[in-house]
Amino acid sequence: MIEQTAIPGVLLITPPRFGDHRGFFSESWNRKKLEAEGIVLPEFVQDNHSLSREKGTVRGLHFQSPPHAQGKLVRCGRGVIFDVAVDVRRGSPTYGRWVGYELSFDNGKQLWIPDGFLHGFMTLSDDAEICYKCTDHYAPECDGAVKWDSCGIDWPIADIVPIISGKDQEAQHLSDFDTPFSYEV
């Protein structure tokens, strides 16, 4: 199932699961089947996998600048996360707008986030693992971060001091952010 979100271009995708007495099987990514539904995503060149041990961890809000901007197809392989995309495309009518969804092993939902967006998540369970496909390779020289609590996001765990990296602790505020994305939208 494919659902549009409040930000055009950001999609919620739920691949079907085939359950039986053993458990389930699901094609977590099938380009041909998505294209048959009119969804053509860029080529993916890198798969990432991260584990966050504790509930209340925040990773993000991250981006890679052009020429290595990344689109991401995110799913939660274990546990539960609240996954967020923030539109930072210059000139976008939804600039600064965010969407967030609970992705979990149980619901099997995936979030497609085109490049030109910040991406981050808050874990809502211990041992939350995410697996995500990227449309460009890691380019540390293009890596950037915006402060997780500077975008007006209604994070599901309020008044939290999250577990975050030093990089995320030092991230710039959205109000000070000069977007490197100048796509025509």
Ligand X SMILES: Cc1cn([C@H]2C[C@H](O)[C@@H](COP(=O)(O)OP(=O)(O)O[C@H]3O[C@H](C)C(=O)[C@H](O)[C@H]3O)O2)c(=O)[nH]c1=O
Q: For binding to ligand X (CB under 6 A), which residues are involved?
A: 48, 50, 59-60, 62, 72, 119-121, 138, 165, 167
Residue 49 appears among annotated catalytic residues: no
Residue 132 appears among annotated catalytic residues: yes
C-alpha–C-alpha distance, residues 149 and 60, integer Å: 10
CB of 4 vs ligand X, minimal distance in Å: 22
Residue-wise burial string across 25-51, b where 16 or more C-beta atoms lie within 10 A, e elsewhere: eeeebeeeebeeeeeebeebeeeeeee
Q: With respect to ligand X, which residue has the nearer C-beta, 94 or 129?
A: 129
Q: With respect to ligand X, which residue has the nearer C-beta, 91 or 169?
A: 169
Q: With respect to ligand X, which residue has the nearer C-beta, 62 or 109?
A: 62
CB of 163 vs ligand X, minimal distance in Å: 11
Of these residues, 21, 49, 95, 132, which one is catalytic?
A: 132
C-alpha–C-alpha distance, residues 62 and 74, integer Å: 13
C-alpha–C-alpha distance, residues 26 and 30, integer Å: 10
CA 170 to chain centre: 20
Of these residues, 21, 62, 119, 183, which one is catalytic?
A: 62
Residues annotated as catalytic (active site), given as ranges: 62, 132
